[in-house]
Amino acid sequence: MSQTSQPARPARTPEEIETDLARTRAALADSIDEIGATLAPANLARRAQRSAVAALQTPDGAWDPKKLAVVAGVGLVLVVYLVRRRGA
């Protein structure tokens, strides 16, 4: 069995290590800020609203009557279900 040796890395100075750490910390902080912005409740709600509106529109931006009728029907069934459940 043969051993493979890896080439030796040149030694880094403490200043180089500190510079690399600072760069890594800054990149990590930026990533955390981006994740926080992406997962902020207001941004999630805005994205969900845009997605729902887009799902109910035709490609030209007009409201799709068939899709609106389906949503209205589902809403009506849900209301009837809740009213009956509460009355039972």
In a domain, 83, yes or no: yes
In a domain, 3, yes or no: no
Number of domains in the chain: 1
Residue 64, C-beta contacts closer than 8 angstroms, at least 6 positions apart = 56, 57, 58
In a domain, 26, yes or no: yes
User: Containing domain of residue 72, as a range?
Assistant: 15-87
Q: What is the mean pLDDT of residues 31-43?
A: 95
0.75 exceeded by pTM: no
In a domain, 51, yes or no: yes
Any alpha helices (H) in the chain, and if so which ranges?
A: 14-39, 41-55, 65-87
**Residue-level pLDDT at 4:** 66
Please say if the pLDDT value at position 51 is more than 90: yes
